[in-house]
């Protein structure tokens, strides 16, 4: 069995070692644009270069080393639907995302960001507490990661809301769905957490019109994709105070360019796409297990639905 491995960071050795441990029968071939490849059975990549599409079209399945499939589905038309694209199923990402979002929500709820600023200015001044019942948290996207985040936030007793494509019902969470449910969902969400996949339906969803529907003084946490947010609109709304502050982990252009105005806005917290990192060992173990299932002719979990793009 041969596995074609592509790593944008060029760090292939540790992946090869982990595959040798979990799937010793496989030979791992590293993708290089300028070298002819032997035929491969499976491919492991996340956001492949266009030049890799031809070998990808010839494998039994493409395994993504991430949860989001937008990096490969931008080539949807060039990839045969007969080749399943399989994303990671948690593999240690859920708990990281829960930590990140919980931290950001608590930072705003307990006003730690304001206390940080006060401390820099040498000010000792207790601020009024936010009311928990007014601090509703609305999660856009209730998939693998959104559900894990909601589960973590339940501990703190915030009113919880969720928005998805299909109808859901969850204990202790007010659920909304579809285009018709979006307005009501947004109007009641003091904190909006974006955990949507990037698809033609969700691109730019956090535009001026939709962000204006959030209550005055709302908070935005974007951990989905940069292209969910209309960046100039967010900047305008933060400056006007309609959005009190934002925590952003993902951006239209990554790394965020040095001249980007977000760097100059103290109410925007920037992290470099680290909210839920791919854990190599867990990922290889999971992919090796799925390859074994496929070899036995069994169905595997986490196959991307090409109709919906996630």
Q: Is 245 in the site for ligand OXD (CB under 6 A)?
A: no
What is the per-residue burial (b if ≥16 Cβ within 10 Å, else e) of 194-230? bbbbbbeebeebbeeebbebbbeebbbbbbbbbbbbb
Facing residues of 161 across strands?
138, 174
Strand order in the sheet with 218-222: 173-177, 160-164, 137-140, 191-194, 218-222, 243-248, 268-270
Q: Is 94 in the site for ligand OXD (CB under 6 A)?
A: no
Phi, psi of 161 (to 5 degrees): -135, 155
Nearest to ligand OXD of 66, 84 (CB atom): 66
143 binds, among ligand OXD, ligand NDP, none (CB under 5 to 8 A by kind): ligand NDP
Distance of CA 212 to the CA centre of its chain: 23
Among 57, 45, 88, which residue's Cα sits nearest to residue 197? 88
Shortest spacing between CB 92 and ligand OXD, in angstroms: 11
The label of the residue with tokens 């703190």 reads: 156
Among 260, 210, 271, 216, which residue's Cα sits nearest to residue 238? 216
Q: Which of 48, 66, 84, 146 lies at the binding interface for ligand OXD (CB under 6 A)? A: 66
Facing residues of 42 across strands?
3, 61
Q: Is 86 in the site for ligand NDP (CB under 6 A)?
A: no
DSSP state of 129: P
Per-residue x/- track, 260-289, ligand OXD (CB under 6 A): ------------------x-----------
Nearest to ligand OXD of 167, 277 (CB atom): 277
Nearest to ligand OXD of 68, 138 (CB atom): 68
Q: Is 48 in the site for ligand OXD (CB under 6 A)?
A: no
| Sole window of 63-71, 112-120, 176-184, 235-243 interacting with ligand OXD (rule: CB under 6 A) | 63-71
Round to the nearest angstrom and report the end-to-end CA distance of the chain: 28
Per-residue x/- track, 45-84, ligand NDP (CB under 6 A): ----------------------xx----------------
224 binds, among ligand NDP, ligand OXD, none (CB under 5 to 8 A by kind): ligand NDP
Distance (Å, whole) CA 140 – CA 271: 20
Catalytic residues: 225, 273
Q: Is 138 in the site for ligand OXD (CB under 6 A)?
A: no
Per-residue x/- track, 266-305, ligand NDP (CB under 6 A): -------x-xx-----------------------------
Per-residue x/- track, 204-243, ligand NDP (CB under 6 A): -------------------xxx------------------
Distance (Å, whole) CA 95 – CA 102: 10
Among 44, 68, 70, 74, which residue's Cα sits nearest to residue 56? 44
Which residues of the chain form contacts with ligand OXD (CB under 6 A)?
66-68, 278
């Amino acid at each position: 069995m041969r596995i074609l491995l592509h790593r944008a960071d060029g760090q292939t050795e540790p992946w090869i070692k982990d595959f040798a441990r979990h799937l010793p029968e496989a030979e791992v071939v590293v993708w290089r644009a300028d070298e002819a490849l032997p035929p491969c059975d499976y491919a492991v990549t996340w956001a492949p270069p266009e030049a890799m599409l031809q070998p990808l079209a010839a494998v039994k399945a493409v395994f993504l080393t991430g949860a989001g499939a937008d990096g490969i589905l931008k080539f949807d038309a060039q990839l045969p639907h007969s080749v399943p694209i399989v994303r990671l199923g948690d593999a240690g990402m859920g708990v990281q995302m829960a930590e990140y979002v919980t931290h950001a929500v608590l930072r705003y709820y307990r006003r730690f960001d304001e206390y940080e600023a006060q401390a820099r200015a040498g000010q000792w001044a207790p601020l009024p507490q936010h009311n928990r019942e007014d601090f509703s948290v609305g999660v856009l996207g209730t998939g693998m990661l959104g559900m894990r985040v909601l589960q973590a936030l339940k501990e703190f007793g915030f009113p919880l809301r969720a928005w998805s494509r299909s109808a859901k019902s969850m204990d202790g969470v007010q659920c909304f769905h579809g285009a018709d449910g979006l307005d009501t969902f947004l109007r009641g969400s003091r904190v909006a957490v974006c955990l949507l996949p990037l698809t033609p339906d969700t691109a730019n969803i956090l535009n001026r019109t939709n962000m204006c529907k959030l209550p005055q003084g709302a908070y935005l946490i974007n951990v989905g994709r940069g292209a969910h947010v209309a960046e100039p609109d967010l900047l305008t709304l933060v400056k006007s105070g309609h959005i009190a502050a934002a925590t952003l982990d993902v951006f239209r252009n990554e790394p965020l360019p040095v001249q980007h105005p977000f760097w100059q806005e103290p109410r925007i917290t920037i992290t470099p796409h680290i909210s839920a990192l791919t854990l190599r060992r867990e990922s290889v173990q999971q992919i090796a297990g799925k390859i074994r299932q496929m070899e036995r002719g069994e169905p595997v979990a986490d196959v991307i639905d090409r109709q919906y793009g996630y």
